[in-house]
Amino acid sequence: MVLELQKPRPIWQIMFSTHHTDVGLLYLIMSIAFLFLGGALALLIRAELFLPGSQLIADSMTFNRIFTVHGTTLIFLFLLPSASAVGNYFVPIMVRYKDMAYPKLNAIAFWMIPPGGALIWLGFADFTWYATPPYSIISAPGPAADMWIFGLKILGISSVLGAINFVVTILKCKHPDMSIGQVPLLAWSFLSSSLIVLVAIPTFAAALLMLLTDRLGVTGFFNPAMGGDPIAYAHLFWFTFHPEVYVLVIPAIGMMYEIIPRFSRRPIFSKGSGIFAFVLLSIVGFSSWAHHMYATGMTFTEKTVFMIGTLAAVPASGMHVFNFIATMWNSRIKFATPMMWAIGGIALFFSAGAGGVANAAMPLDFTTHDTYWVVGHFHLFVMGTIAFGTIGYIYYMFPYVTGRLYNETMGKVHFVLSFIGTILVFFTQHVLGLYGMPRRIFDYPAIPEWIAMNQIATVGAMIIGVSMVIFLINLIHSSAKGKPADIHDPFNLGGQYYYPFESKNPHH
């Protein structure tokens, strides 16, 4: 039956398997490994910025490489694969199919990630996660830069293959008795985010190739010295990566749609509005990319258009928040670990969105753009919302994967520390941005307010670091020694609140 780790199999059996839960397990383990690697880099950055002057990083080149690899790792090697982990485990089960539509392709998509990740880590490029030309063409040292480009190319293809698989599994392989409206919201979230991937990624894939040939000197698409235009790259990049932020957030919202109703012991307030908001977001998400480029010298009209496009996406995000609150309203909530992460994630989602609206309002963006405000803004999403939803879901699926219970107290301590830490780091960074501190700087002048706020942020980051160690110990210890779970109702919710266990697909 379900108990993968209770019934030990040799590791190579899992590695060479194409079964969706095995591939899901590989995704999960790898993404957690990269969470810790990328997180360690974050702690280095925060330690360095604790005081002006050089603390423990010797020079700015090393610092620049560290934040570049930090960002690249956590987006492409933690957030995306951890979503794929959940999708692999649950999408086939939710649409009642025996596996992903293309199991071999699924395994291939997974196995492209380690080489992609290796290229990024072995190269250790310095040109930030957006590799903007002309810096990335004329200044960024190779082979690191070229390895990053190839690494991202591979990861991009892997994403596209994964997305094709999700779309086909959901639309073509769902049980004939199941209408599309009956597909659970978590599966809907993968459908929406996969469709965004298919539309958005090819643009960046093209830009990467153009960047590579520019670096080789055979073309000059983005190189002003050869008549090219760096702004063209910015458009191609953000055309992919603004929608990509929805690719990251939508599955996390989907996970909250699993957790919130279960632990509120009540069906979701409105499934229809959840589906509607997913689909709306994946369309409107394409109308706002140049809100990242207000300061590049766009005309007033261009800026206005993209501001409207950005604001238009807000109601869809707001509908999810409403749906969650309405579901929890007056219900018998059980505050188990997964639920705490989900609720914390929603609270931070709301605050992050408010900051986003400020960025979108053109005159305000000239205060916030490329300061620590922006760092605070998107980390409230990527950490506070997406990682929170995902971590909550990892706790939620833990009994399903291992057949055992995690340690509830440690799970709650993990949450409380992470929540406090996240607020300390990222709320403070918003304020720091208003005081004008630019992002991506190795050292800063000894302005008292800057020092104070950097120190608060560093302390917060260390608190998150400690909480993550507790997480890791809990995962490892409980998967070997945790109490056996009642797999029909591991969280003691009473009634049919857990996902359908018997539907677990046998290995083929």
Concatenated DSSP letters for 179-224?
-GGGS-HHHHHHHHHHHHHHHHHHHHHHHHHHHHHHHHTS--TT-G
| Residue of 212, 374, 423, 475 interacting with ligand HEM (CB under 6 A) | 374
The answer to whether 368 contacts ligand HEM (rule: CB under 6 A) is yes
Segment interacting with ligand HEM (CB under 6 A) among 86-94, 151-159, 361-369, 451-459: 361-369
Total chain residues near other proteins (CB under 8 A): 60
Segment interacting with other proteins (CB under 8 A) among 11-19, 283-291, 358-366, 386-394: 358-366
Going from the C-alpha of 484 to that of each of 162, 371, 407, 411, 478, the distances in angstroms are: 33, 49, 11, 17, 9
Segment interacting with other proteins (CB under 8 A) among 189-197, 223-231, 419-427, 480-488: 223-231
Helical (H) or strand (E) element with 450: helix 448-481
Segment interacting with other proteins (CB under 8 A) among 152-160, 228-236, 406-414, 493-501: 228-236
Helical (H) or strand (E) element with 460: helix 448-481
322 touches which of ligand HEM, Cu ion, other proteins, none (CB within 5 to 8 A by kind)? other proteins
356 touches which of ligand HEM, Cu ion, other proteins, none (CB within 5 to 8 A by kind)? ligand HEM
Q: Are the beta carbons of 101 and 65 closer than 8 angstroms?
A: no
Considering the complex, what minimum distance in angstroms separates the CB of residue 381 from other proteins?
18
Total Cβ atoms within 10 A of residue 296: 14
The answer to whether 360 contacts ligand HEM (rule: CB under 6 A) is yes
Q: Are the beta carbons of 201 and 290 closer than 8 angstroms?
A: no
**C-alpha–C-alpha distance, residues 313 and 63, integer Å:** 35
In this structure, which amino acid lies at residue 358? A
Cis bond upstream, residue 448 (ω within 30): no
229 touches which of Cu ion, other proteins, ligand HEM, none (CB within 5 to 8 A by kind)? other proteins
- CB closer to other proteins, 231 vs 279: 231
| Residue of 142, 143, 438, 484 interacting with other proteins (CB under 8 A) | 438
| Residue 332, φ and ψ in degrees, nearest 5 | -90, 85
Considering the complex, what minimum distance in angstroms separates the CB of residue 317 from ligand HEM?
5
Considering the complex, what minimum distance in angstroms separates the CB of residue 259 from other proteins?
19
Three-state DSSP at 339 gives: helix
Segment interacting with other proteins (CB under 8 A) among 60-68, 115-123, 388-396, 497-505: 60-68
Residues 6+ apart with CB under 8 A from 414: 337, 391, 467, 468, 470, 471, 474
- CB closer to Cu ion, 377 vs 404: 377
Residues 274-333 touching ligand HEM, rule: CB under 6 A, are: 291-292, 310, 314, 317
The answer to whether 443 contacts other proteins (rule: CB under 8 A) is yes
361 touches which of other proteins, Cu ion, ligand HEM, none (CB within 5 to 8 A by kind)? other proteins
Residues 94-133 touching other proteins, rule: CB under 8 A, are: 126-128, 132
364 touches which of Cu ion, ligand HEM, other proteins, none (CB within 5 to 8 A by kind)? other proteins
**C-alpha–C-alpha distance, residues 242 and 192, integer Å:** 15
Residues 6+ apart with CB under 8 A from 195: 163, 167, 282
* Chain-centroid distance, C-alpha 183: 23
**C-alpha–C-alpha distance, residues 257 and 242, integer Å:** 23
Residues 6+ apart with CB under 8 A from 345: 252, 256, 384, 385, 386, 388, 389, 392
Considering the complex, what minimum distance in angstroms separates the CB of residue 339 from other proteins?
21
Going from the C-alpha of 188 to that of each of 54, 180, 459, 493, the distances in angstroms are: 48, 9, 39, 25
12 touches which of ligand HEM, other proteins, Cu ion, none (CB within 5 to 8 A by kind)? none
374 touches which of Cu ion, other proteins, ligand HEM, none (CB within 5 to 8 A by kind)? ligand HEM
The answer to whether 365 contacts ligand HEM (rule: CB under 6 A) is yes
| Residue of 19, 174, 369, 430 interacting with other proteins (CB under 8 A) | 369
Residues 309-328 touching other proteins, rule: CB under 8 A, are: 311-312, 314-315, 318-319, 322, 326
Separation of first and last alpha carbons in the chain: 13
In this structure, which amino acid lies at residue 206? A
Considering the complex, what minimum distance in angstroms separates the CB of residue 487 from other proteins?
29
The answer to whether 436 contacts other proteins (rule: CB under 8 A) is yes
Query: What is the binding site for Cu ion (CB under 5 A)?
Result: 242
The answer to whether 496 contacts other proteins (rule: CB under 8 A) is no
Considering the complex, what minimum distance in angstroms separates the CB of residue 43 from other proteins?
19
354 touches which of ligand HEM, other proteins, Cu ion, none (CB within 5 to 8 A by kind)? none
* Chain-centroid distance, C-alpha 352: 14
Q: Which residues pair with 404 in a beta bridge?
A: 484
Instruction: Provide the binding-site residues for ligand HEM, judged by CB under 6 A.
Output: 245-246, 248-249, 291-292, 310, 314, 317, 353, 356-357, 359-360, 365, 368-369, 374, 377-378, 381-382
